[in-house]
Structure 1
Amino acid sequence: MSFPLFNKKPESVISDSEKEQIVNAIRTAESRTSGEIRVYIENRNKYVDPVDRAAEVFFKLKMDATRERNGVLLYVALKDRQLAIFGDEGIYNKTGREYWSGLVRHILGHFNKKDFAAGISEYVQQIGEGLHNFFPYDRETDHNELPDDIVFGS
């Protein structure tokens, strides 16, 4: 069975306005925290475990180079319908595994409706809220350490 939506490159599945919606969600979330959020979207995950792939992408994007080790990657494999979050040790040590697992379950509901941009945007906001609780924004010391754009894989 073939799904025409998923035969396209990942950046063409999401419209320009939806891309803008996601980037705006990242910027809004980061305006309340010193944490950094990135979104990585690809069609296929050649790995069995999406968390392993998210970890690989996280380090490839050098997200572990933030001052407070509080970067968070939202990883999405559209065709394989996989989702994972990988948080650096600074945020993961403060929130724990259950926090991230709950967010993943919630966003999958949006994906089942094929409302990817809304699901990603809402999830980014929730990640930002979690980051805000543990790493609030400080006007004196905070600066944007990582790009806010969406990274598209194959």
Structure 2
Amino acid sequence: MLFKKKPLSKPDEQRLIAAIQTAEQQTSGEIRVHFDTDKVDSALDRAKQIFAKLKMHETELRNGILFYVNLKQKQFAVWGDEGINKNVPENFWDNVKDTAISNFKEGKTIDGLEKCILMSGEQLKKYFPLAEGDKNELKNDISY
């Protein structure tokens, strides 16, 4: 959905972009954040759709991660590509989701997303360290 006005303030948007840049500094992995207000049956299914729409599956090592936030329905999902999913511990995505939700419940959406981005960056760094000549394959901006 197109927003008439972005749901994030410029400082909050910049804070999330800075977290993405920090998380990606030592990895070839790619992280994006998407905010939505469309009515959806499943946040996870919608995250998968947005992941494809943003062409995140086209990264060379299939190591992209999308954080999806539905503001209207107060839903959150994380979608990791097959490269990262083969490597992270089984409960990793549950821990990320729990971190987000506990912060969201306290009204700390940006704090929660920032923590999740940095947690994910640590995993990406472990399994997909930055290689010489690596390039940023996806924009670090926030999508709406």
SS in 1 for 2:104: helix
Give, in whole Å, the separation in 1 of the partners of 2:116 and 2:73. 19
In the alignment, structure 2 segments of 5+ residues that lack a partner are none
Tell me which amino acid in the other structure corresponds to 1:68: L
Q: Which residue, out of 63, 75, 82, partners 2:75? A: 82
Tell me which amino acid in the other structure corresponds to 1:146: L
Q: Which residue, out of 46, 55, 73, partners 1:53? A: 46
2:142 is the alignment partner of 1:141: no
Question: What is the CA deviation profile of residues 16-59 of structure 1, one whole-angstrom value per residue up to 9, with x for unaligned ones?
Answer: 10110000000000001110000001123x32221100000000
2:132 is the alignment partner of 1:100: no
- TM-score under structure 2 normalisation? 0.92
Inter-CA distance 10–98: structure 2 relative to 1 (3 Å threshold): farther
Give the fraction of aligned pairs with identical amino acids, expressed as a percent: 37
SS in 2 for 1:67: coil
2:32 is the alignment partner of 1:30: no
Give, in whole Å, the separation in 1 of the partners of 2:127 and 2:4. 32
1:70–1:87 contact (8 Å) kept in structure 2: yes
CA RMSD of aligned residues (A): 1.5
SS in 1 for 2:87: helix
List, as ranges, runs of 4+ consecutive aligned residues in structure 1 with deviation greater than 2 Å: 9-13
1:10–1:78 contact (8 Å) kept in structure 2: no
1:25–1:125 contact (8 Å) kept in structure 2: yes
- TM-score under structure 1 normalisation? 0.86
2:37 is the alignment partner of 1:43: yes
SS in 2 for 1:94: coil
Give, in whole Å, the separation in 1 of the partners of 2:130 and 2:5. 31
Give, in whole Å, the separation in 2 of the partners of 1:88 and 1:21. 24
